[in-house]
Amino acid sequence: MTEETPGATGPHGLTRRTIVKGAAWSVPAVAVAIAAPTASASDTSTCPSLPVPGAWVTSTSGTGNSAFAGWNNTTRTEDGFTFIRDSDSSSTPYVYTISTFVDLEAGRSYLFRLDYVAGRGCTSATGPGATSVNTDLRFAVGTEAFGLRSTQSTGAYAVVTHLPPCATGFSTETETLQGILEPTQTGPVPVAIQFVAYPTLEGNNDDYYVIPSIVCL
Ligand SMILES: [Ca+2]
């Protein structure tokens, strides 16, 4: 459960906490402006929706930190997910995967998108000048990766741009990762969002806030 602070709930049901180990958190105001797919897409009457975040399935490998049971966990908002956990002084990555299925029809075209903002995992207590460690983001539909990002050059993928310095919260710019899928068979297709927190003795991995969506073309 997310810890609640009365009167401090953000626009996505997120609760502000000012000092949290492993997360220089502020609710990404830009996320409020992220547009959900609208009726402008064609043939919305039969367009499938992604399940609500609470219905996605979580799997993990490696060891994530367990302190601060509220904000220092990965949480589900009403429209997306936050990943702010860290590898827990381990020598192997902490891998956190959130997945679901969506029923698609053969011969149709579907745009899958993932809007995200990223932030440094440095704590407010350590302040500017503190360091954090890379976290990878992978957005996959079926067997295709539609989005691959790393927060730092030590990661496996292209580095997130406009990532703010430590202790300043999430990026103020939203980026969209997306791809078009044209299935050849009708049936369920897996959708997965994976975070890989690289090993760190200090325990501060960078953070993400993501919102997945689907548009029928
Ligand atoms: Ca973190």
pLDDT tens digit string along 81-126?
988 888 876 788 999 999 999 999 999 999 999 999 998 887 554 5
Whole-number Å distance, alpha carbon 60 to ligand 1 midpoint, is 16
State the average pLDDT over residues 48-73.
75
pLDDT mean over 175-203? 92
Q: Could you tell me which residue, 167 or 129, shows the higher pLDDT?
A: 167
Distance, C-alpha 116 to centroid of its chain? 6
Strand order from edge to edge, sheet including 110-119: 75-76, 81-83, 207-216, 110-119, 175-181
d(CA 109, ligand 1 centre) in Å: 36
Query: Are 85 and 72 a contacting pair, CB within 8 Å?
Result: yes
Flag the least confident range among 114-118, 179-183, 197-201.
Answer: 197-201
Chain-wide mean pLDDT for the chain? 77
Is the predicted pLDDT of residue 171 greater than 90, yes or no?
A: no
**The whole model's pTM is what?**
0.76
Q: How confident is the model at residue 31 (pLDDT cuts 50, 70, 90)?
A: very low
> Does position 160 have pLDDT exceeding 60, yes or no?
yes
Q: Which of 29-43, 48-62, 131-145 has the lowest mean pLDDT?
A: 29-43
Closest Cα to residue 151, out of 102, 105, 110, 118?
A: 118
- Report the CATH architecture of 37-216: Sandwich (2.60)
Lowest mean pLDDT across 23-32, 115-124, 198-207: 23-32
Taken in order 194, 105, 80, 169, the sign of the CA dihedral is positive
Q: Where are the domains of the chain?
A: 37-216
Cα of 72 to ligand 1 centre, how many Å?
A: 7
> Which chain residues have CB less than 5 Å from ligand 1, an ion?
22-23, 84, 86, 121, 205, 207
Burial of 35 (0-12, 13-18, 19+ CB in 10 A): exposed
DSSP category for residue 175: E
pLDDT of residue 126: 53
CA of 153 to the centre of ligand 1 (A): 17
How far apart (Å, rounded) are the C-alpha atoms in residues 195 and 93? 10
Six-digit token pair at 140?
């996959």
Decide which of 131 and 205 is more confident. Answer: 205
Q: What is the pLDDT of residue 122?
A: 75
Residues above pLDDT 70, as percent of the chain: 70
CB 85 within 8 A of CB 69: no
Higher-pLDDT residue of 203, 166: 166
How far apart are the C-alpha atoms of 25 and 27, rounded to whole Å?
7
State how far the Cα of 212 lies from the Cα of 81, in Å rounded to an integer: 9
180 is written with which tokens? 């078009």
User: Could you tell me if 170 and 164 are in contact, meaning their C-beta atoms sit under 8 angstroms apart?
Assistant: yes
Token readout for 160 is: 């997130």
